[in-house]
Amino acid sequence: MTTLVILDKGSVDHAINWSKVKTKLTLIDELKRAVKKIRAEVVVQSVEDFSKRMYRVLQNDGDYLR
Question: Residue 48 — very low, low, confident or very high, per pLDDT cuts 50/70/90?
Answer: very high
Give the global pTM. Answer: 0.46
Range of the domain at 18: 12-59
Let me know if 43 is exposed, middle or buried by CB neighbors in 10 A (0-12, 13-18, 19+): middle
Q: What is the mean pLDDT of residues 16-23?
A: 90
Domain count, the chain: 1
Q: What is the mean pLDDT of residues 31-57?
A: 86
> Is the predicted pLDDT of residue 1 greater than 80, yes or no?
no
Assign residue 63 a region (left: φ > 0; alpha: ψ between -120 and 50; beta: otherwise).
beta
Compare 30 and 14 and report the one with higher pLDDT.
30
Start-to-end CA span in the chain (Å): 31
Q: Is 21 inside a domain boundary?
A: yes
Q: Is 64 inside a domain boundary?
A: no
* Cα distance between residue 33 and residue 4, in whole Å: 15
